[in-house]
């Protein structure tokens, strides 16, 4: 290693490794200390290249720090602090460990300077985050977690294939922008791996499926890291790829449409992640680094990712608090909770106004940058599509979620109503801090704009035209909500999405495996037993008989004969045989002496 450098991911991973050893009485302090240290470490980073390690013929770079990675690292570690505070009272140590390893994987991917390091941390994110779904302990969570893991492993394979092809073509592992003007198979495979994590339709259905089944605390982590890390990877590796613009607009509208059909509040928010990430994906597609419009679009994508992590985290905190305190997240089993949970309502409303890009809230100063870049790039269809999605976002997240949980008709079961109340101090404090940040960013634009990659940021969101235009769209949306309130009343239905194909495909495969394939296997096994195995056994028995009767008979018979002869000789060994041999020896000696004497005296 060229120099010692403390990676923010190392802080999170080391903290996760030590956490199970920390005594219970000191655990809350450790839970607060570790993410705060990671955040402080991020604040102390300076642009440069750090943590270079020689591995075989490659140089792995764990710390590529520049303005793009800094803004994402800042918000990721800040969200780790807020999300850990929110779940401070959770006693399952494994859930905290999984969350921190997940954060460490995200930070490792953000600061990775080469494709191999990126891939390693990319897979670490998928393998650790699935436990935030499984820890809920429901059968539905188990199935959603398996589907989540399978889909992400498939995306990882596509990404790895793209990396291999890219290295084969360039012999360079540096994680830099690919040539989007002359895309190759490697470019599209890398894009496929990235957009799967970004939840681009039709590769998006894992997101509402999994996030709606995660633990109340796990969903706060999940909504912040996977899709935004994918946005960072797209901004780093594929800025200006034109295909991303229509994909982003489709995402923005698609998520809003499916949110109309949702009865579960957290699944509704999950579909709005798809919609909001669509703005970022479109911004990356517009982000030609050599043009002012492209720089504005990339700044907008980064700013919206920053703002989205906060307000979406706040929304999942609010609905998670409802789930945690009542055990319910479905609109048709909630309603009228305002007297029981007023603070939770207030915080969730702030999140809803922020995601709806209401003036003085964070979404207003970030989302509008991407929309403005669309119009300045003369892509009117993209700009109007994103504005349409913005109206739908306010309709469902800004109005539908607060109304049907805290107002509207009370559908709560007696036990649910009895349990309902504002959550504990740590959850309220986390929601309060996040809500303050949502308002602060919306009111004081230099705080966020000063962190963006391209400086100086000259965009001014608070113009009279933009404020008037936004208020008109939002107020007419509110009027439409009031007029069509009965039509928007949630119903306990199930929305079919693209996950239907692999769900039904999995069932069809299982039926095929249990039916024809199993029958074929049984038939083949019986055929082998009758024709192959029984014939083999007959030949083996014949060989055994021949060995026993013929080979062993001959060998054993000869051995028996030799042994019998030996026994007879043994019986004679001490009697006549010895005497005869001695007599023969004596006669031989006398004969030899006689011959010698004759030759001497009778020459």
Q: pLDDT, tens digit, for every residue of 482-529?
A: 888 888 888 888 888 888 888 888 888 888 888 888 888 888 887 777
Tell which residue, 94, 394, 34, 362, has the closest CA to residue 217: 94
Statement: residue 548 has pLDDT above 90: no
Q: Is residue 234 part of a domain?
A: no
Statement: residue 89 has pLDDT above 80: yes
Residue 575 pLDDT class (50, 70, 90 cuts): low
Statement: residue 86 has pLDDT above 60: yes
In a shared domain, residues 119 and 103: yes
In a shared domain, residues 194 and 253: no
Q: Which residues contact 254 (CB under 8 A, 6 or more apart)?
A: 201, 204, 274, 275, 278
pLDDT for the residue numbered 266: 94
In a shared domain, residues 466 and 589: no
Q: Is residue 196 part of a domain?
A: yes
In a shared domain, residues 386 and 319: yes
Q: Is residue 462 part of a domain?
A: yes
In a shared domain, residues 183 and 255: no
pLDDT for the residue numbered 2: 45
Question: What Å distances lie between residue 265 and 335, 430, 539, CA to CA?
Answer: 12, 20, 70
In a shared domain, residues 152 and 66: yes
Lowest mean pLDDT among 66-75, 529-538, 542-551, 578-587: 578-587
Final residue in a domain of this structure, among 228, 262, 295: 228
Lowest mean pLDDT among 182-196, 448-462, 534-548: 534-548
Query: Which whole number is the average pLDDT over 521-539?
Result: 79
In a shared domain, residues 509 and 460: no
User: Mean pLDDT score of the chain, rounded to an integer?
Assistant: 90
In a shared domain, residues 20 and 139: yes
User: Who wins on pLDDT, 230 or 562?
Assistant: 230
Statement: residue 83 has pLDDT above 90: yes
In a shared domain, residues 330 and 366: yes
Q: Is residue 507 part of a domain?
A: yes
pLDDT for the residue numbered 118: 96
In a shared domain, residues 511 and 488: no
Residue 452's Cβ-count burial label (10 Å; 0-12, 13-18, 19+) is: buried
Q: How many domains does the chain have?
A: 4
Lowest mean pLDDT among 78-87, 305-314, 484-493, 565-574: 565-574
pLDDT per residue as tens digits for the range 115-134: 999 999 999 999 999 999 99
Question: What Å distances lie between residue 391 and 136, 253, 256, 319, 470, CA to CA?
Answer: 33, 10, 9, 21, 9
Query: Which whole number is the average pLDDT over 275-279?
Result: 95
Residue 602 pLDDT class (50, 70, 90 cuts): low
Q: State the residue range of the domain holding 419.
A: 239-493
Q: Is residue 129 part of a domain?
A: yes
In a shared domain, residues 562 and 447: no
Q: Is residue 498 part of a domain?
A: no
Share of the chain above pLDDT 70, in %: 96
pLDDT for the residue numbered 493: 83
Query: Rounded distance, CA 103 to CA 95, Å?
Result: 12
pLDDT for the residue numbered 535: 76
How many Cβ atoms are within 10 Å of 147's Cβ, its own excluded? 21
Final residue in a domain of this structure, among 473, 493, 513: 493
Final residue in a domain of this structure, among 180, 200, 228: 228
Statement: residue 207 has pLDDT above 80: yes
Pair 287, 347: CB distance under 8 Å: no
Q: Is residue 296 part of a domain?
A: yes
pLDDT per residue as tens digits for the range 48-57: 999 989 888 8
Q: Is residue 383 part of a domain?
A: yes
Triad 431, 436, 438: Cα angle to 5°:
95
pLDDT per residue as tens digits for the range 307-345: 999 999 999 999 999 999 999 999 999 999 999 999 999
Pair 359, 350: CB distance under 8 Å: no
In a shared domain, residues 481 and 508: no
Pair 385, 249: CB distance under 8 Å: yes
């Amino acid at each position: 290693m060229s120099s010692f450098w403390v990676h923010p991911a190392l802080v999170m991973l080391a903290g996760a490794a030590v956490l199970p050893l920390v005594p219970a009485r000191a655990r809350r302090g450790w839970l607060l200390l570790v993410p705060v240290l990671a955040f402080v470490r991020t604040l102390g980073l300076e642009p440069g290249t750090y943590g270079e390690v020689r591995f075989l013929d490659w140089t792995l770079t764990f710390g590529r720090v520049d303005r793009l990675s800094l803004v994402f690292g800042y918000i990721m570690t800040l969200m780790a602090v807020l999300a850990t505070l929110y779940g401070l009272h959770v006693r399952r140590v494994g859930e905290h460990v999984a969350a921190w390893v997940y954060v460490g994987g995200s930070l490792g991917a953000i600061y990775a300077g080469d494709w191999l390091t990126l891939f390693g941390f990319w897979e670490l994110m998928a393998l650790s985050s699935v436990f935030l779904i499984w820890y809920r302990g429901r059968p539905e969570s188990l199935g959603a977690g398996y589907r989540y893991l399978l889909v992400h492993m498939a995306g990882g394979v596509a990404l790895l294939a793209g990396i291999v092809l890219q290295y084969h073509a360039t012999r360079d592992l540096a994680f830099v922008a690919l040539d989007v003007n002359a895309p190759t198979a490697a470019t599209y495979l890398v894009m496929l791996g990235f957009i799967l994590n970004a939840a681009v339709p039709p590769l998006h259905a894992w997101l509402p499926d999994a996030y709606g089944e995660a633990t109340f605390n796990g969903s706060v982590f999940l909504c912040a890291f996977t899709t935004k890390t994918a946005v960072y990877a797209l901004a780093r590796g594929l800025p200006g790829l034109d295909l991303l613009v229509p994909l982003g607009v489709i995402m923005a509208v698609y998520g809003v449409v499916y949110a109309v059909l949702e009865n579960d509040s957290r699944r509704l928010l999950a579909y709005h992640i798809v919609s909001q990430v669509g703005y970022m994906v479109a911004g990356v597609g517009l982000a030609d680094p050599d043009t002012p419009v492209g720089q504005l679009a990339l700044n907008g994508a980064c700013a919206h990712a920053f703002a989205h992590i906060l307000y979406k985290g706040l929304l999942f905190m609010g609905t998670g608090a409802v789930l945690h305190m009542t055990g319910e997240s479905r609109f048709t089993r909630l309603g009228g909770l305002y007297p029981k949970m007023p603070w939770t309502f207030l915080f969730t409303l702030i999140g809803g106004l922020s995601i709806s890009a209401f003036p003085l809230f964070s979404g207003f100063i970030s989302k509008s940058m991407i929309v403005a870049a669309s119009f300045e790039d003369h892509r009117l269809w993209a700009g109007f599509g994103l504005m349409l999605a913005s109206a739908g976002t306010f309709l469902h997240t800004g109005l539908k979620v607060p109304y049907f949980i805290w107002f509207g008709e009370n559908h709560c079961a007696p036990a649910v109503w009895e349990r309902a109340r504002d959550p504990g101090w740590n959850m309220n404090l986390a929601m309060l801090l996040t809500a303050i940040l949502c308002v602060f960013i919306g009111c004081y634009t230099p705080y966020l704009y000063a962190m963006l990659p391209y400086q100086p940021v000259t965009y001014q969101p608070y113009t009279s035209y933009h404020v008037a235009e936004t208020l008109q769209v939002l107020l007419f949306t509110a009027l439409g909500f009031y007029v069509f309130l009965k039509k928007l009343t949630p119903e306990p239905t199930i929305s079919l999405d693209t996950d239907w194909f692999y769900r039904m495909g999995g069932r069809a495969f299982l039926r095929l495996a249990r039916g024809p394939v199993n029958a074929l296997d049984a038939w083949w096994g019986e055929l082998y037993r009758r024709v192959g195995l029984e014939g083999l056994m007959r030949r083996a028995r014949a060989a055994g008989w021949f060995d026993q009767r013929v080979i062993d008979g001959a060998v054993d018979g000869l051995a028996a004969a030799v042994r019998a002869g030996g026994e007879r000789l043994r019986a004679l060994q001490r009697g006549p045989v010895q005497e005869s041999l001695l007599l023969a020896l004596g006669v031989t000696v006398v004969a030899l002496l006689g011959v010698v004497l004759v030759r001497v005296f009778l020459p």
